[in-house]
Amino acid sequence: MGYFTGPKLLDFKSSPPHLQFNKYVHTGYRPISTCRECLRSLFYLHNEFGNIYTHGVPFICFLLFLPVSIPWAEVDEWWIGIVHYLACLSPTICSVFYHLFMNHEGGAPIYDTLLCFDMFGVCLVNTLGALPIIHITLLCHPITRQVAMLAYLLLSGYGVHCALTAESNIHRLQSFIWQAGFRFVLFMFRLIGPGRGSPSSLQLYLTMDALAMFGGLVNVSRFPERFSPGRFDYWLNSHQIMHIMVVLSILYLHWGMLEDLRWLKGYHCPDEYGIYDI
């Protein structure tokens, strides 16, 4: 068997039970494999091929090009760039590991661990991605900023617990509702007046959350494969569409943060904010 020639693929009923989570995907399942064989699956077509590359290619691009676009020298709060960079990387790399090794010979225990790792990556982008936004939005209100960041971290911790213990895709999606609600309130606070981040970044952040929510809903609805089982086994099924939406969401997060960083460089809080808080 050549390196670029894959093993005989399985249908849904013949695949390992822990991989039978989408009954509308009928074919293309990899057999139970060693670590080496899982890695070799990068080079032949199967029904996880698209899931691996729709996050693997963006991960490489984010890894190489995001640091170049962040204006490190112009930002006094250096931690913002690092946290934002890690937020953008985390869901893609965790997803690649999950999809690449999900058919490992370790069986269901390895799969469950990889699924938790994948969910942890989603939790990281929700948590780390929001912290710089909170900091910039409440820049002139230091006490409120500290309280808000602590509250969001606690809420994120609860979200991580819910996501890692969820028993279905719907419950996993619900794990992130409270974080999304927190961010929405934060974004609405930006509308009150100036001094709460770049005016042009708000639309980018709202688009970010809308794309992520849309992707999550598509994933739990199993659209479009639900309406044509077997037709989308390899390409353009719900999970791949969600991956694309996640990548676009990360891009909008990055573009919004770049706008905020440019605003942060040239903005100075009025003197009265040294005494008063909201």
CB within 8 A of 106, min separation 6: which ones? Answer: none
pTM of the shown model: 0.92
Q: What's the token pair of residue 67?
A: 């640091």
Per residue in 85-105, pLDDT (tens digit) is 999 999 999 999 999 999 999
Q: Provide the CATH number for the domain formed by 51-268 in this structure.
A: 1.20.1070
Q: What's the token pair of residue 222?
A: 């199993």
> Which residues are documented as binding site for Zn(2+)?
99, 239, 243
Which residue numbers in the chain have pLDDT < 50?
1, 273-276, 278
DSSP result, 19-80: G---TT--S-BPPSB-HHHHHHGGGS--TTHHHHHHHHHHHHHHHHHHHHHS-GGG-S-HHH
pLDDT of residue 266: 85
Distance of alpha carbon 112 from its chain centroid, rounded? Answer: 19
> Which residues are documented as binding site?
99, 239, 243
d(CA 238, CA 225): 7
Instruction: Give the start-to-end residue ranges of the domains of the chain.
Output: 51-268
pLDDT of residue 278: 47
pLDDT of residue 249: 98
> Please, where are the H alpha helices in the chain?
35-40, 49-69, 78-101, 108-128, 131-137, 142-165, 169-174, 177-189, 201-221, 238-266
In the numeric block, the tokens 């609860």 are attached to 158
At 9, is the secondary structure helix, strand, or coil?
coil
